[in-house]
Amino acid sequence: MRLDGRIAVVTGGTRGLGRAITEAYLAEGASVVAAARNPYDIKELADEYGDRLLYQPVDVTHERSVQELMDAAVAAYGGIDILVNNAGVSRDGKIARLSVADWNTTLATNLTGVFLCTRAAIGPMTARDRAEGQSGHIINVSSCVAGRAAAGAAAYSASKAAVEMFTRTSAVELAPRGIRVNCLSPGYIDEGMGKELAANERAWEAYRGRLLAGRLGRPEEVGAAAVFLASDDGSYVNGSVVEVNGGLNWAA
């Protein structure tokens, strides 16, 4: 129970990797606010974990909605110890035909959303009374394409690269406030876009040789990394980008 008594907010926390992180945090004893536009099947977890799980609707691109999320976490559990900025969208398209609307939507959700949630969480995190040596922690979710060129992913890759630099800057600024900030960078995971890739026989054949592990990652492996970063086990990790990609050989 490495997160016993901790309070976590996970955006995009009702499906995909966000849900995997929500489940991992609950299993480790945390109370979790799973925030997203839609609850999907989060009721299944609520039935299992009772009042340690709260669903809160949120649009991370809207400042008021984000503030309502943080207020809900404080009202329900008394504060915030962990924030996982996981909500994200992908609008694929080569630059020549990528619309301004799709570009703006991607940046607003993947980057501005991280900024708004981080800023809104600083006050509640700073106000928490923690044991000596414990810190608040923010985890931003990036992607393996943040630092590697992939045709058709200009908007998504640019947003995630910016998230990684935002992470490093936040770590410098928030360390004096007792808040660690790290970035989790998943590779190809058997969930969401990774699952769609594996289902496309032609695309999967092109990418499979790049995975040194020889398989897609499992969502729970990303959840385990998120637990490590948020727990005391990761107390000396700050301003880092932690890759969970099974050894991705992009040059293959």
- The residues annotated with a catalytic role in the active site are 156
- 121-156 per-residue burial string, b: 16 or more CB within 10 A, e: under 16: bbebbeebeeeeeebbbbbbbbbbbbeeeeeebbbb
Query: Which residues lie below 8 Å from residue 210, measured CB to CB, with a gap of 6+?
Result: 248, 249, 250, 252
Tell me the torsion sign for CA atoms 164, 242, 248, 11. negative
Of 115, 120, 116, 122, the residue nearest 165 (C-alpha): 115
The one-letter amino acid at 245: N
- Burial (CB < 10 A; 0-12, 13-18, 19+), residue 108, is middle
The pair of three-digit structure tokens given for residue 89, joined into one six-digit string: 């969208």
